[in-house]
Amino acid sequence: MRLHCDALQVDIPGRAPSQPLSLTVEPGSRWGVLGPNGAGKTTLLHTLAGLRPAAAGQVVLGERPLAAWRRRQAAQHLGLVFQERHDDFPATVLETALIGRHPFLHAWQNESAEDAARAHQALDQLGIDHLAERPLATLSGGERQRVSIATVLTQSPDIWLVDEPTNHLDLHHQVEVMGLLDHQARSGRAVVMCLHDLNLAARWCDHLLLLYPDGTACWGPRDDILVTSTLERLYRQPLMTAEIDGVPVFLPRVTAPSSSSLSSSSPSTFSRGKPHDAT
Ligand SMILES: Nc1ncnc2c1ncn2[C@@H]1O[C@H](COP(=O)(O)OP(=O)(O)OP(=O)(O)O)[C@@H](O)[C@H]1O
């Protein structure tokens, strides 16, 4: 199933309407949404999910405007991983993952053994099935992030909307989660993810949408968009670029402080790149 932005203008409080977005997220594609803090990435994702009204234009899910879908039916096709979850109700990890089956159940219908098996399978894929009976509130940030992703995996939507998939994750789990999203796309689903890490975008996305704080935007295939000068303008940050294994790598170019400012700064625990022996 495809997701189409038809001259979509995101509604950001106190700002002029953003540039109309007209783009199609095709099955099998992996879109990265990049932009500085406050540019409107999360607001866009919530608009695509139907949680916020657009300022103008519309989101089209499949052949119909998203607004014409019943919420439950739309949720069978669209899954959203939130940036931060505020869990108001005490729940276990398994109960949380089972929320992914709710779009497929009638009101007051209990989850079946098959639903529970799907949830366990998703938790297992994220390496957290051993935490199934743990209260969510007792988990670490990275474990909780993996529960959020396992919940959408349990839902198994055609279109994944993921706000900062690698939030709280160590390097190993970052690669695992990006690999999981990649696998989803390769099996015919579509992924739209907000990212702060240019290197993850370069490695794992095939299309990019750049959102600027003034409401303008540009989008297209990764190689057309991932241009150093464009990214420097986006983040107002000079960059250094290299290529490793055929993939571009971006690092912020930081001006080294002068030696006099170093010596006048507070004492460092490092000296000449080696840990300082405090004994
Ligand atoms: N309910 C609201 N009321 C007022 N302003 C809001 C509201 N929701 C979002 N905003 C503002 O809209 C702007 C866009 O927020 P959004 O969370 O979409 O940005 P973002 O690009 O995802 O940022 P970040 O990279 O920091 O996560 C921000 O300036 C934010 O303060």
Tokens (6 digits) for 180: 């999981």
For ligand 1, is residue 167 a contact (CB within 6 Å)?
Answer: no
For ligand 1, is residue 152 a contact (CB within 6 Å)?
Answer: no
> Which amino acid makes up residue 30?
R
Separation CA 37–CA 4 (nearest Å): 25
Q: Which of 15, 33, 41 gets mutated to test ligand 1 (max ligand atoms within 8 A of its CB)?
A: 41
For ligand 1, is residue 41 a contact (CB within 6 Å)?
Answer: yes
Tokens (6 digits) for 35: 């932009």
Nearest CA, atom 31, ligand 1 = 38
pLDDT of residue 263: 53
For ligand 1, is residue 213 a contact (CB within 6 Å)?
Answer: no
**Does pLDDT of 86 surpass 90?**
no
In degrees and rounded to multiples of 5, residue 219 shows phi and psi of -155, 165
Band of pLDDT at residue 275, cut at 50, 70 and 90:
very low
What is the tens place of the pLDDT at every residue in 136-184? 999 999 999 999 999 999 999 999 999 999 999 999 999 999 999 999 9
For ligand 1, is residue 193 a contact (CB within 6 Å)?
Answer: no
Atom of ligand 1 nearest to the CA of 10: 18
Q: Which of 33, 37, 210 gets mutated to test ligand 1 (max ligand atoms within 8 A of its CB)?
A: 37
Q: First and final CA of the chain: distance in angstroms?
A: 63
Q: Where along the chain do its domains lie?
A: 3-77+157-275
Nearest CA, atom 13, ligand 1 = 38
What is the tens place of the pLDDT at every residue in 96-139? 999 999 999 887 888 889 999 999 999 999 999 999 999 999 99
> Which amino acid makes up residue 174?
Q
Architecture of domain 3-77+157-275: 3-Layer(aba) Sandwich (3.40)
